[in-house]
Amino acid sequence: MNARQLEVFRAIMRDGSLTAAANSLAVSQPAVSKVLHHLEGQLGYKLFERIGGRLTATAEAHLLYSDADRVFREIEVLKDLARTIGERKVGLLRIGASMPVTFSVLPKALAAFQQGHPTVKIQLHALPKREIAEQLLIGDIDLGLTLSTIQAPTVKSEILASVGIVAVMLKSDPLAQKAEITAADVIGRPLISYGSNASDVGVPMDEAFEIAGGARQINVQISSSIAAAPLVQQGLGIALVDGLVEWSQFDGLVAIPFVPALMMNFAISTNSARPISRFYRPFLKNLRDTVKVG
């Protein structure tokens, strides 16, 4: 039973005659009769008998009807969804984002995006950069947001902003009154920061300390800057991390620019080997506007 046969069968059951069914379907009575004849031929049994000049449904037809009616309604819902998607009223945007991005610019960008696209569903995966790259390559996400560009086959990255390193510390720290923090200021202090192999800033930070006559002694090594907040609050050290996160949102903490300026690249990445989401460009505009305001 195909969709057209299902529609005709349902109309005959509902309307009680071939003529009435033809009228409701806006087709000719012979066309309805032909579809019914083909359906009964495929099934191998009669669905309707003419008794006393009236078309009467058989027991088999009654057995089929409730499920046939349910399936038809589901098809209609699917058709309506397909039309709605075609009109760009609904859709899906799958985002992979590093934790610092998730806790900073992303919520504002998504809020702006959903004002213009209220029926678009968002799937957000907060992941490390390596897993974002993997999911881009296999097609599980439409775009990735990271604090350094992704170097992988077919992945295309666009830098949205350069983000400087800051020193995050307790407001009660003696250094908290300074306008900027240098490597010399924190030599000998326990540090919370990225490892030397961290892309973009690991090696430059080590070099800044060497020039200042010391070494960057990491007390707690982290892979995501957001993890530094509770560590600094517990007095485990000063964090040298990205300035993308709004560190003032954490009680008792202050973020001061680190000099010399060491920059990380906030980037958006897509897989050029896969179709780009039709919601990518409007979301990208909201993201750019958010970064600009920030």
What is the domain-level CATH number for residue 40?
1.10.10.10
Quick: pLDDT tens for 60-89.
888 888 888 888 788 777 776 676 666 555
Burial (CB < 10 A; 0-12, 13-18, 19+), residue 49, is: exposed
Which CATH number belongs to the domain containing residue 254 in this structure?
3.40.190.10
Q: Do both 105 and 191 map to the same domain?
A: no
Task: Give dist(CA 233, CA 250) in Å, integer.
Answer: 9
Q: Do both 152 and 279 map to the same domain?
A: yes
Task: Give dist(CA 215, CA 283) in Å, integer.
Answer: 42
Task: Give dist(CA 56, CA 162) in Å, integer.
Answer: 76
103 and 145 in contact (C-beta within 8 Å)?
A: no
Q: What is the domain extent for residue 254?
A: 164-263
* Residue 1 binned pLDDT confidence (cut-offs 50, 70, 90): confident
Domain total of the chain: 3
Q: Do both 183 and 250 map to the same domain?
A: yes
**pTM exceeding the 0.75 threshold for the entire prediction:** no
Beta-bridged to residue 54, according to DSSP, are 51
15 and 24 in contact (C-beta within 8 Å)?
A: yes
Task: Give dist(CA 130, CA 151) in Å, integer.
Answer: 10
Q: Do both 66 and 136 map to the same domain?
A: no
- CA nearest to 10, candidates 65, 78, 71, 67: 65
- CA nearest to 246, candidates 226, 232, 223, 220: 226
| 42, 61, 86 - which closes a domain | 86
Quick: pLDDT tens for 209-244.
999 999 998 999 998 999 999 999 999 999 999 999
Q: Do both 184 and 226 map to the same domain?
A: yes
